[in-house]
Chains A and B, each alone.
Chain A
Amino acid sequence: MVSNQGKWPRHESVISIFLFAVLFLIGLVIISAQFDFRKNAVPAVAGPEDIHELISGISPAGFKAISEIEEYNADNLYEKIDGKAPYYTETGFVKLFTRWLVSESDENLMFEFYVFDMGLFANAFCVYSTQKRPDAQVLPAFNPDFGYRTENAVFFVHGKYYVELVGSAVSGELLAAQKDFAGKFRDGLPDEKTGMPEFSIFVGENLVAGSIKLYLSAGLGFDGFDNTLTAVYKIDDKETTVFVSRRVSQQQAKELVEKYYEFLIDVGGKNKELDLPIEGAKAVDFYGPTEIVFHKGNFVAGIHEAEDEAAAVKAAVLLNDILEKANHDEQGQ
């Protein structure tokens, strides 16, 4: 390599450094340009709607937002709802969005929305149904299984979202705004699947609308009942709670029946002899009310805390038939 003999002129250095600076600038511009992108706006592939954008865009007629949208994840959820947080975080919680909306005509009328992203419909439905208030009333335009209201609040589940609209007063105007919000939220996410195939087990006119609940853990107080559905049937004018849990195999179902029976006995229940036309069914007198448990195929099912023994038996038979048919349908596939 032959190099220049003497020094190079100064102006060459100046120009060279200037050029080098230009290169550096170009590099900076490029690096900073690529930071400027919205995570969900990757132009090429369209994904699900940005929920943040959706809920900030919903404005019920006559109401406006008076706060920014607050976001919480599993780490800081307790900052918003304190002790209630584990209830959600242990059920698949992903994110919470909240915001205050106030009436433009009456500053005392406001509600806060809580949009829980629970990751899956099952999770959302679980937290929705297990918290259902006893004074639940029908929420118009919503399936009674998936939405209800109380005097001042609206609760519903849509896809993987559990939404609470908590109002500051009992007011028709407030309710209208809450219903508006609920409808717009639901319509803004048309692709969310709300429902599970297992719901089809609970059929019949005796089913009390909106009574289905899903326990993802410790259903009925028993550890073995994860993934358990309960519903209420009205038999002979008596409300009876039934429960169903699908297990992996017949063998497991059988074993679980035994375990639940033993659990009941352990905590003080007494075996009951009932004339049940159901194979392998067990009945327990649990401090008065009757518990029945049996298995059908892969399902463990039974009656919980039934006041009236006769109604319990009827319900058990009804449940048995339903499950028989469900099994049959599956095998016939």
Chain B
Amino acid sequence: MKIVTVRRISQVFFFSLFLWFCIVTTIGDKFQQLRNWPVNLFLHFDPLAAIGTLLTTHTLYWPLLPALVIIILTIIFGRFFCSFVCPFGSIHHFVGYLGSRKKTAAQKIKQNRYRKAQVIKYVILIIFLSMAAFPMLAGSLQTGLLDPIPLVTRSVNLVLLPIADSSLNLVSVGQRFYEGAWIIFIIFLSAVLLNLVIQRFYCRFICPLGALFGIISRFAVWRIGKKTDTCTNCKFCEQRCEGGCEPSSKIRFSECVLCFNCRQDCKTKDDVIRYQTQKSLAGEVTGPDISRRGIVLSFASGFFAVPAVRLSAKLAANWFHKVIRPPGSLAEPEFLKRCIKCGQCMRICPTNVIQPAGIEGGIEGLWTPVLNNRIGSSGCQLNCTACGQVCPTAAIRPITLDEKLGTGDFASKGPIRLGTAFFDRNRCLPWAFDKPCIVCEENCPVSPKAIYTREVFSTIRDGILTVISISGDTMEVSGRNLILDKYSTGDYYCLFEGGRRVKILANSEKTLTISREEKIEKIPAEGSKSELQVRLQRPYVDMERCIGCGVCEHECPVSGKKAIRVSAEGESRSRDRKLLL
């Protein structure tokens, strides 16, 4: 079996595995649902996530320990991950292959020459790491923006799958929505299409994970190189070179992604190109082509970037009230040290309420999870802790249901609050429009409810009627045109002079039928006035019970700008944002 065959099998294997994991990340017990599939496998094996969180938190969260395996194997063998495992890399490899099929040998060789711009990925890596490296001053984990594993996970889960599944509905019952998905889509599409210009464009120029591998593989025991000096300089080895590492001359070792295509393509009889322990006979360029000045400049950029960004006070007094994080999230500065923007929480949330943030909460929060209660099926489900279970770095802690609901061991602490709901009395139907409605109260899931009502009787517009006559339970009135049956809903009352209030059961254009329960002792005099009133239950939020789950906001019938909206004040994860003691 040729090594390139194994490599291709490996690429197909890991890509299919990755895709399968994306598909099954849905709550459920069926084979094609979550069960115990290790859906975070790729993220947990991602060294950039491990090193990034190690720098920001000074700890290695134990599920990220498998990344050490990849690091050790890379130290020993080189950048095998890029060619054998990385699902994003496989996409690039394949599209690049498609794009260069019609090209001549000479064109391909030219396309694969080393370019100085390949140093950009090292600059990106250094900037990310220096942003993360000083948590005391201001650590921020932004590796997730360009780290290929979170990037491809995000792109597939939040863009490709929802599009593909929108008509098939195999993966999820309804259409999934994700705000701002178009940006993720454009980035993904650009990265993929750029392979038609230069093969493995992303891998060569942008990928910080590849840069990391390039650096740590410096002392690899085995490396690609020329074994004998019978090379004819035909440069065929560079026709399908994936890394742009120039194996035909002084091989740029940190760029080699171990695709083994050069070995495969070498036309000499005695296999000049080998994977060997000796250095290449034609010489090696071991390190990336970055000067000391370049390193310092990159470092400085990252180092100053975070404090510069934090001048916006978005992590201080100027925090944005709509950044409502999933239950179990750490306080904001801690959260931003861990979130790798992989989108798993958004993918698994059964109500589709977790959305990728834009920059309104601060630029560091791009693509971090925030709740948008208008989207999805119902706000944050009371008995669900899925997001915390699936977060690979514990930016959202894997809380138990007891902790979320404030029961059992957590009874003294109380439930986790995501925020508090606030009524907009200018929009709420019973408050502003004299229309009965208590959908919010009905749907409030906590017990006792966090929304309560106070009964108010309000005379409707032009609601003064004159009693003409009354017989039995029917009253003939004048004063306004009554629409047939409009007042039969059980919400309307008649207020007579003297203060008696009686429920209206039905009405015609001229008469009102009053409830038989109330016997009108004194028949209102002819000509006396009565007021047509609507009984309203005006809702209030009980701040001590509200957990900010957003079901009320979701159900509110004022569907444009909701009349009750959740805001992050009172969230339990932040001491600063407490509303209550």
Whether chain B is bound by chain A comes out as yes
Residues of A within 8 A of B (CB): 2-6, 8-9, 12-13, 15-17, 19-20, 23, 26-27, 30, 33-37, 39, 42-47, 332
Contacting pair B236 A34 (CB below 8 A)? no
Residues of B within 8 A of A8 (CB): 2
B29 lies within 8 A of A42 (CB): yes
Bound Cα distance from A108 to B271, whole angstroms: 85
Asked if B40 lies at the interface with its beta carbon under 8 angstroms from chain A, I say: no
A305 nearest CB across to chain B (Å): 38
Closest chain B CB from A11 CB (angstroms): 10
The 8 tightest CB contacts between A and B, nearest first, are A44-B386, A16-B1, A37-B36, A16-B6, A34-B37, A34-B36, A46-B401, A19-B6
| B1 x A30 contact (CB < 8 A) | no
Q: B253-296, CB under 8 A of A: which get 1 and which 0?
A: 00000000000111101010000000000000000000000000
Whether, in the assembled complex, B479 has its beta carbon less than 8 Å from a beta carbon of chain A, the answer is: no
Supposing A2-B236, A20-B1, A45-B381 touch, asked if A27 and B389 sit within 8 A by C-beta, the answer is no
Contact of A45 among B41, B267, B350 (CB under 8 A): B350
Q: Is B346 an interface residue (CB 8 A)?
A: no
A20 touching B6 in the complex, CB below 8 Å, given contacts A34-B36, A45-B386, A46-B401: yes
- On whether A16 and B36 interact (CB within 8 A), knowing A2-B239, A27-B13, A46-B383, the answer reads no
Identify which of A16, A27, A34, A35 contacts B2 (C-beta below 8 A).
Answer: A16
A6 touches B384 (CB 8 A): no
Closest residue of chain A to B264 (Cβ to Cβ) is A4
- Tell me the minimal C-beta distance from A25 to chain B in angstroms: 11
Known: A44-B27, A44-B348. A23 touches B9 (CB 8 A): yes
Instruction: For the complex formed, measure the closest distance between the CB of B569 and the CB atoms of chain A, giving whole angstroms.
Output: 27
0 or 1 for each of B467-493: is its CB under 8 Å from A? (1 = yes): 000000000000000000000000000
A34 and B10 contact, Cβ closer than 8 Å, known pairs A4-B266, A5-B269, A44-B385: no
- In the complex, B38 has a CB within 8 A of chain A: yes
Residues of A within 8 A of B35 (CB): 34-35, 37, 42
Chain B nearest CB from A218 CB (Å) reads 38
Contacts of B1 in A (CB 8 A): 12-13, 16-17, 20
A39 touches B37 (CB 8 A): no
Decide: A23 and B10 in contact? CB cutoff 8 A.
yes
When chains A and B are docked, how far (Å) is the Cα of A45 from the Cα of B35? 12
B17 interface residue per 8 A CB criterion: yes
Question: Is B517 touching A30 in the complex (CB atoms < 8 A)?
Answer: no
Give CA–CA (A260, B264) in the complex, Å: 90
Q: Which of A6, A9, A45 contacts B383 (CB 8 A)?
A: A45
What is the bound-complex CA distance between A43 and B381, given in angstroms?
A: 14
16 A-B residue pairs with CB within 8 Å: A2-B265, A4-B266, A4-B271, A5-B269, A20-B1, A20-B9, A27-B17, A35-B36, A42-B27, A42-B28, A42-B29, A42-B34, A43-B398, A44-B386, A44-B390, A46-B385
